[in-house]
Amino acid sequence: MLVAAVASGVLNQNLFKMTVSISNTVRALPLYYAVANNWLLFGWVYLVFGGGVAAILSAFAAQEHERNLALAREAAQAAQLAALRLQINPHFLFNALNAVSELITEDRKAEAELIVARLSDLFRAALTETPGKLAPLHEELDVVGFYLDIEKTRFGERLTFDIDLPADLRDALVPPFLVQPLVENASKHAVAPSKGPVTVELRARRQGDALVLSVADHGAVVVGTQPGFGIGLSNIAARLEALYGAEGRLEAGPEVHGFVARISLPLQFANDRRGEAAE
C-alpha cells in the first residue's frame, strides 16, 4: 500500500503544483510547495489523509451496524411482548358468551346486556392499546373492573371484590393488561370451583422505588385447584423480565386463606415524579 501511495504521489506532483500556483491562500503556499517538491513527504501526507478518511468511514459504518443491531433487538422484543400479551385464556370469552346465552334464555336481558357492554369495553381497551406504551395504573384497573363486572354477573354472590388503589399511585405507569390475568387466575381457580363466597382483593403499594401489585383470593379453598405458574402467570413473568430485567418479578403461591400473586416493578410516572409519591 505504501509503494502504491508513493507512486501515486509522484504521478500527481505536477497536478499538485498547478493547483498551488492558482491558489489565493498565500500563507499556505510554502507548505504546499514543500510537500510537492518532496515526493516522500507527499506520499506520507497522502497516506495520512487516506487513512483518516478510511477511519472516519469505518467509524460511520460501525455506528450504523450498532444502530441496526439495536433496532433489530427492539423489534424482536416488541414481537415477543406482543405474542405474550395475546396468549390470554380463550375460555374466558367462551364462558362470557355462554353466560349471555343463558341470561337471555332466562329473560335476564339487563344482565346479558351488561356482559356484552363490558366485553365491548375490554376489546376496545385491547385494540386501542399502543404497543410498547405504558398505561396509568388507574386505567389498568378500569380494565380489571370491566372483567370483574362480567364475572360478578356470572357468579353472583359467590364473588365479591375489593380494589385498594392509593391516590398517590393512580398515575403510576404499568404495562397494559398486566393485572387482569392475575384476577382471571383467581376467578378460574378459586371462584369457579367454589360453592361458597370468595373475595378477590387487589392492592397497590409502594415499597421504596418499587410498585407492588397483589391479587389475593380469600374464601372457600378448593384443594388442588390452585396451580403454581400456569401459562397466564408464566407469561406475566416473561413480560416483566423482558421489560425490566431483574427489577421486574412475579411471586405466586398459596397462603393461609387462599392464593396470592404479587408483581413488583420499578415505580415510575409519566412526568418522572418517582420521588414525589408518598409512602
Name the domain count of the chain: 2
Q: Return the higher-pLDDT residue of 246 and 233.
A: 246
In one letter, which amino acid is 179?
V
pTM of the model: 0.64
Whether residue 9 has pLDDT greater than 50: no
Please write the tens of the pLDDT for every residue from 42-51. 555 556 666 6
Q: 102 with 62, same domain? A: no
Structural domain range at position 29? 2-70
For helices 2-11 and 39-86, give the axis angle rounded to 10 degrees. 120
98, part of any domain: yes
- Range from 53-67, 73-87, 197-211 carrying the lowest mean pLDDT: 73-87
Which of 38, 70, 102 is at the close of a domain?
70
Q: 147 with 52, same domain? A: no
Q: 64 with 107, same domain? A: no
Q: 64 with 152, same domain? A: no
277, part of any domain: no
In this prediction, residues 202-215 reach a mean pLDDT of: 96
Mark 172-193 as b/e (b = at least 16 C-beta within 10 Å).
Answer: bbbbbbbbbbbbbbbbbbbbbe
CATH number of the domain bearing residue 249: 3.30.565.10
Of 226, 211, 229, which is closest to residue 257 (Cα–Cα)? 226
CA distance 268 to 277: 10
Of 240, 89, 109, which is closest to residue 174 (Cα–Cα)? 240
34, part of any domain: yes
Contact 216, 244 (CB under 8 A): no
273, part of any domain: no
In this prediction, residues 9-27 reach a mean pLDDT of: 46
Q: 26 with 147, same domain? A: no
